[in-house]
Amino acid sequence: MRKVCVMEGDGIGKEVIPEALKVLKELGDFEIIKGDVGLECLKKYGTALPDETIEKAKEADVILFGAITSPKPNEVKNYKSPIITLRRMFDLYANVRPINNFGVGELIGRLNNYEFLKVKDVDLVIIRENTEGLYVGREKILEDDIAISERIITRKGSERIIRFAFEYAKRNNRKKVSCIHKANVLRVSDGLFLKIFNEIKEKYNNIKADDFLVDSTAMNLIKYPEKFDVIVTTNLFGDILSDEASVLIGGLGLAPSANIGGKKALFEPVHGSAPDIAGKGIANPMASILSVAMLFDYMGEKEKGDIIREAVKQCIINKKTTPDLGGNLKTVEVGDEIVRYIRKR
């Protein structure tokens, strides 16, 4: 039987993942192996990612990850983020973040008392390079007051993420891939990334291709989200643009993600452990449930992924939502509603 390693983590990770598991079990047969991870785990066992959890992850076909709380600076010596360790360990080079409001254009999200825009239909996907760029961790202090970070862009890393983006577009009937960069200033590193994009796009005649600078893209994502379809970009730009884009769909409660490598994949909501609402039973489980839909897509069962996305859409249309999307249901009730829509279809 196929194996899923499940890591709930901290805070609302413990609340939203059980809802995601309800949906996973409703539609698929998997052996589920649970692994400890995160800050609570660190306090209990002295490590945020125990070897036992790593062994379970190795054994599994896929990983479902909730969210973890990071320790405060200087609270833990030599702390390494478990999620970054897992991405590196399994070479999960493609971070896929769909941004979709399911046609619910009137949606208004609330986050920390900020209300989000009323938006038009949004349906785009950000594909972020997950292993190199500015996040390779090569930082040092030169003399006393100069800090240096190295930004690594390789042909191998760029080719595989750009090809991944075009193949993703082909598989999912998407019309266009946009390369986002800063090659006017980072002429060498992003120059290479853009050059490789221009080489690879020639091999995909049926998919349009264009490229934009990252700063103007930050503005245009908000002004004209409908102009984007698939975005492919380097690590830091992808990290920032995907959090920005989540605002378009009513916040983090609707933002799922996949981290995909050659042999394994990890699925997780984009959000963190949300200590401000943890324990209240009001966290939105949809981001985790939509991550399960991506897990089915990855397993070659896109029809099941589509069933889940349709059930989430029905919940939103019928206002069966948690407070972040304007509703008054609890986390568990939203999970139950989604299962109910799945059964009703």
Residue of this chain nearest to Mg ion (CB atom) = 239
Q: What are phi and psi of 106, to 5 degrees?
A: -85, -5
Continuous H helices in 129-259:
155-171, 189-201, 214-223, 235-246
d(CA 259, CA 265): 6
List 144, 145, 202, 276, residue binding ligand NAI (CB under 6 A) = 276
Tell me the two tokens of residue 331.
């986390």
Tell me the two tokens of residue 224.
């004209």
Residues 19-78 within binding reach of ligand NAI (CB under 6 A): 67-70
Q: Compute and round to an integer the Cα radius of gyration of the chain.
A: 20
Residues 182-241 within binding reach of Mg ion (CB under 5 A): 239
List 95, 131, 158, 273, residue binding ligand NAI (CB under 6 A) = 273
Residues 297-326 within binding reach of ligand NAI (CB under 6 A): 324
Quote the least distance from Cβ 61 to Mg ion, whole Å. Answer: 26
287 contributes a contact to ligand NAI by CB under 6 A = yes
Is the CB of 19 or the CB of 239 nearer to Mg ion? 239
Quote the least distance from Cβ 246 to ligand NAI, whole Å. Answer: 9
Is the CB of 22 or the CB of 97 nearer to Mg ion? 97
d(CA 125, CA 148): 32
SS3 content of the chain, % helix, strand, coil (to 5): 45, 20, 35
List 272, 281, 301, 302, residue binding ligand NAI (CB under 6 A) = 272
Q: Which does 111 bind (CB under 5 to 8 A by kind): ligand NAI, Mg ion, none?
A: ligand NAI
CA nearest to 83, candidates 319, 272, 315, 293: 272
Residue bearing tokens 């971070």? 95
284 contributes a contact to ligand NAI by CB under 6 A = yes
Cite the active site residues. Answer: 135, 182, 215, 239, 243
Is the CB of 143 or the CB of 276 nearer to ligand NAI? 276
* CA 63 vs CA 8, 37, 38, 44, 215: distances in Å: 11, 12, 15, 22, 34
Q: What mask of x and - would describe binding to ligand NAI in positions 220 to 259, judged by CB under 6 A?
A: --------------------------------xx------
d(CA 41, CA 56): 15
Is the CB of 90 or the CB of 193 nearer to ligand NAI? 90
Pair 70, 81: CB distance under 8 Å? yes
* Residues within the interface to Mg ion (CB under 5 A): 239
* Residues within the interface to ligand NAI (CB under 6 A): 12, 16, 67-70, 83, 111-112, 252-253, 268, 271-277, 283-284, 287, 324
